[in-house]
Structure 1
Amino acid sequence: MQNSDIDAGLTPPPLMPKVERQRLHDTVVEHIRRFIVEGTLEPGKKLNERELCETLGISRTPLREALKVLAAEGLIDIEPNRGASVSKMSEAELRETFELMSGLEAFSGELAAERMTAVELTEIKALHYAMLACRAQNDLAGYYSRNQAIHDKINEAARNSALRQTYIAVNRRLQALRFRSNFQIPKWDSAIHDHDEMLKALEARDGKRLSAILRQHLLDKRDAVLQVQSREDAAAAKLKA
């Protein structure tokens, strides 16, 4: 009986090409997701594959694979024979999704206040102060990345895998809208005040208080987004008239 290659002491070939391909795939997805979140690709915008390939320095195959992932996340709409475009939520979808997220955030806060470790609290404090520094420099992108990291760490600290999976799926659809909710300076500063109160509630391990702050925080973002969308829709209607 012949021994297998492994039995003969031979090792399987390296899998580096697959790893590199996966890294490229993840990188492309992340780049396009950021373009959507930060408004480089606006809601409803039809995607030009050639331009995206040139911008990212890639071929159409990894681009199309990335678009399929983003379509599954609800960020991209792909229609046969019409290509891909950035998803645009209706007012009803927007209201309902923010309401759902407000509940997810509130529940995360209640559990996190009870289960968060001292190390996690220290990490959130560091992110909070870094976020304030970005606000002082009017760095909205830097502010938003740290803001979202804080919310994400609170959700992780809840230590509930079912909640975690639902949170990630819903939040992906709202990230671009949450980013836009800070375009007005008063709304931006109001959000910072909320984060100050969140940190106090976390330090006090006051889950009920943190839950209430997070719920209202998300509902306020919903209202801010609805105001922005209403103005944009009115402006678009005037251009068409």
Structure 2
Amino acid sequence: MHSVTLNAVREHTVHPPDNGAAQPISRQALHLAVMDRLRKMITEGALAPGAHLNERALCEQLGVSRTPLREALKMLAVERLIDLLPNRGARVVTLSASDIADAFELLSGLEALAGELACERITQAEIDEIQALHCAMDDCYANGDLPGYFDCNQRIHDRINAAARNPALTQMYQSVNHRLRALRFRSNLHTGKWERAIEEHVAMLRALHQRDGAALGRLLRAHLMAKCTAVLAGMRVAA
């Protein structure tokens, strides 16, 4: 079994996120690429909650025409990341405190179930892949690379979910998680919360190595609800 250690607490500088709009998108599967780029911009705060989406400006930023942009917006509306407003364009969804609490409660249950099932069904190769992602995530943490950290973090959660071998669970998980990605990203902007998240991931990886489904399920549920608490506390401070 791989040993899992946590480096001593270090001083970190959080690098500003890349808003994803610097380079033109290739023409292949264009609307899907645009959707991914816009989702990243929403997650990292380049498109803030409530922001009106200016089609002309976005087309210039992404180097695309309005047709693939509008197709991408329709798909993001299905994911409930944006609202399409009749004759008024589109805007980024703003979630209420109640919306956030309900969604995190649901997602924590989905992740807990995924963890329990994954411990029964995961292969050693998949565990090794998650271990490697954890090491990469820890390197990003050490370097203050929040976007890189978050990407590794989400890939770890996705791999655990995939290892559950339950397509219905995965579909619902992805739907809810897309709505909360931006909030999960911002919950790590505070260094203390980021450190605690790393510690929680160390414990989750240990339970996965031990194939302790009950423990991993409890840890995943607690991890998500801690995120919820941090997000709601941040909203109260901002208000």
- Whether the TM-score (by the shorter chain) exceeds 0.5 is yes
Aligned equivalent of 1:55, options 50, 54, 61: 61
Corresponding position: 1:30 with 2:36: yes
Deviation per CA, 1:127-173: give whole Å up to 9, x if none: 00000000001000000000000000000000011111111111111
In structure 1, the gaps of 5 or more residues are 1-19, 235-241
3-state DSSP of counterpart to 1:77: strand
1:46-125 to 2 correspondences below 5 Å:
46-125=52-131
In structure 2, the gaps of 5 or more residues are 1-25
Corresponding position: 1:220 with 2:221: no
Q: Distance in 2 between matches of 1:36 and 1:231?
A: 21
What displacement does 1:21 show? 6.2
Q: Structure with the greater relative contact order (CA < 8 A, sep ≥ 6): 1 or 2?
A: 2
- Following superposition, which runs of at least 4 residues in structure 1 exceed 2 angstroms of deviation? none
TM-score of the superposed pair, with normalisation by structure 2: 0.88
Report the structure number with the largest CA radius of gyration.
1
Q: Distance in 2 between matches of 1:168 and 1:31?
A: 17
Q: Which amino acid aligns with 1:218?
A: L
3-state DSSP of counterpart to 2:95: coil
Aligned equivalent of 2:190, options 184, 188, 191: 184
3-state DSSP of counterpart to 2:29: helix
3-state DSSP of counterpart to 1:88: coil
Deviation per CA, 1:182-206: give whole Å up to 9, x if none: 0111110100000000010001110
Q: Distance in 2 between matches of 1:21 and 1:128?
A: 33
What displacement does 1:227 show? 1.4
Deviation per CA, 1:23-50: give whole Å up to 9, x if none: 1111101100000011100111111111
What displacement does 1:90 show? 0.8
What displacement does 1:103 show? 0.1
3-state DSSP of counterpart to 1:183: coil
Aligned equivalent of 2:215, options 177, 195, 209: 209
Q: Distance in 1 between matches of 2:73 and 2:166?
A: 30
Alignment length, in residue pairs? 214
Aligned equivalent of 1:166, options 167, 172, 192: 172
What displacement does 1:93 show? 0.7
What displacement does 1:231 show? 2.0
TM-score of the superposed pair, with normalisation by structure 1: 0.87
Note the aligned Cα RMSD (angstroms): 1.0
Identity value in percent: 57
Q: Distance in 1 between matches of 2:136 and 2:51?
A: 33
Q: Which amino acid aligns with 1:24?
A: L
